[in-house]
């Protein structure tokens, strides 16, 4: 279904462009991208990506809420860009590593999944990155860079060329996002 992949490509690019600009509309556009991606990845038997896209639906709703109402700030003030607290960063790294191996093993042993470990690694890293995005932590962009490199290779191998192109562009956009958010960075306490 090339038209479905094209819809994913366009909504995915628009979503990240809005995110770079710290625009709240990134989240409703992200919902469109997530729903389309469920269908595309399901057809390709990339089950970890199907799971991830379902998670994106939930996290886009959470991010929309958090950017509007969450965090410590004055009424009417935008949610600031901050560093991820050290303890949270450490826990995210450990949980992501363990979950990637466990999910890869499960998909390898119990399904007909293709590239189960690579697919699971990008999925678990994306779980962490999307949560960090919703919290407006700047390190989300570094994690997205890693995801984009691996995902583009997976999609090329699977013959999902438009998504491979999309993730190649995401790679560039992740760097742009990091630079743009860095200009608005507000340091936070690392004790959390």
Position 192 scores a pLDDT of 46
Quick one: residue 74, left, alpha or beta (phi over 0 = left, psi -120 to 50 = alpha)?
A: beta
167 confidence band (pLDDT: 50, 70, 90): confident
The span from the CA of 155 to the CA of 40, in Å, is 11
pLDDT digits (tens, 9 = 90+) for 61-115: 899 999 988 877 777 788 899 999 999 999 999 999 999 999 999 999 999 888 9
Q: Please report the pLDDT score of residue 51 as a whole number.
A: 84
1 band by pLDDT with thresholds 50, 70 and 90: low
The model's pLDDT over 103-159, given as tens digits with 9 standing for 90+, comes to: 999 999 999 888 999 989 998 999 999 999 999 999 999 999 999 999 999 989 989
**pLDDT band, residue 44 (cuts 50/70/90):** confident
The residue to which tokens 């556009």 are assigned: 29
Which residue reads 């890293």 in tokens? 125
Whether residue 179 has pLDDT greater than 90 = yes
Task: Report whether 119 contacts 49 (CB < 8 A).
Answer: yes
Residue range 20-38, pLDDT digits in tens: 999 999 999 999 999 899 8
d(CA 187, CA 88): 15
């Amino acid at each position: 279904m090339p038209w479905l992949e094209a819809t994913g490509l366009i909504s995915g690019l628009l979503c990240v462009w809005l995110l770079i600009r710290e625009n709240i509309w990134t989240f409703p556009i992200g919902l469109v991208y997530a729903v389309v991606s469920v269908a595309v990845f399901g057809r390709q038997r990339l089950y970890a990506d199907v799971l991830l896209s379902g998670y994106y639906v939930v996290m886009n709703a959470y991010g929309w809420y958090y950017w509007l109402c969450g965090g410590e700030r004055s009424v009417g003030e935008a949610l600031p860009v901050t560093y991820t607290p050290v303890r949270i960063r450490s826990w995210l790294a450990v949980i992501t590593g363990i979950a990637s191996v466990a999910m890869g093993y499960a998909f390898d042993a119990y399904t007909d999944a293709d590239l189960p470990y690579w697919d699971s690694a990008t999925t678990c890293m994306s779980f962490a990155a999307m949560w960090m995005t919703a919290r407006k932590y700047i390190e989300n962009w570094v994690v997205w860079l890693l995801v984009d490199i691996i995902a583009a290779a997976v999609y090329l191998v699977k013959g999902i060329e438009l998504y491979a192109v999309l993730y190649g562009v995401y790679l560039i956009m992740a760097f742009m996002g990091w630079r743009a958010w860095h200009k608005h960075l507000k340091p936070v306490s690392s004790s959390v």
